[in-house]
Copies of this chain bind each other. A is one copy, B any other.
C-alpha cells in the first residue's frame, strides 16, 4: 500500500526580507526529525515567498490614480489597496458583491490579483504575488538541493475562490521540478475504456492537500512536505501549464 504523508514544517522563524527559504526549510525539517528526502514535494505559501523576496508594499506610500479611487468608492474599499491590485493586473474580469476579480500580469484570474493582507506585520502592508513565482519555486528547489543533496519538487501555493463553488481552496501559482498536469488521455480504465478527457491538475491537488496541515495554525506554518506521491519530474514546469488559453475559456 502506497501511503502519502503530509507533514507541516514547524519551527520556522517569522520570514523576513532576504530570508533563505530553501535553507530555513531544510534545517527546520531536519530539526523536527523529518529531514527532506529525495522525491518530496515542498509546498510553500506565497506570502512567505513574497516576504522573503521583500515584495511587501506599504499602502501609505501608494498614490491611487483617479481610476483606482473611482473603483474604491464604488466598492467601499481602500483606494491604495485598489491601486496596488490594479498595478498587478492586466485587466478587470468581474466586479460585484464586494469582489474584484482581475487577470494578473502572470495570467492568473483571481480575486484582488492575489494581493494578501494577512500574515504581514503592519496593518497597512500587503503582499502581492511573487513577481515570477516559477522562478521563486526554482530558487527554493535549487537551495534545498544545495543544502540537503536531495532532488525535490517545489510548489508555491495561494488560496483562491472558485467561480462556481463557495469557499476557497489552495492551488499552485509557482511550480518547479514537477509536471503540474497528469495527462491521462489515452490510458485505459478498469474495463479497457480509453479515457478521453482526463488531465488531472495534480499541482493544485497537492497544494490543497498541503493546506490541510498549513491551515491549522493561523498561518503560523507556511510550509508542508508531501511524501510518497510518485510524480513526473521535469525542468520545464510552469504556472502557464495550468492556465486556459483565453480562446478556450467558457467562463471569462
Contact = CB atoms under 8 A, between A and B. Distances in A.
A165 B188 CA distance: 25
Q: Interface centre among A195, A215, A230, A251, by most B CB within 10 Å?
A: A251
Interface residues of A, number: 80
B2 A193 contact: no
Interface in A70-94: 94
A163 B166 contact: no
Contact of A123 (B1, B109, B193): B193
Instruction: Give the number of times this chain occurs in the complex, counting copies.
Output: 2
A67 interface: no
Interface of chain A: mostly helix, strand, loop or mixed: loop
B189 A118 contact: yes
Given A99-B250, A205-B211, 18 more contacts: A2-B216, A3-B6, A5-B5, A14-B190, A101-B250, A109-B164, A163-B164, A164-B244, A165-B171, A165-B204, A166-B181, A167-B200, A169-B205, A182-B215, A189-B219, A205-B209, A206-B212, A212-B226
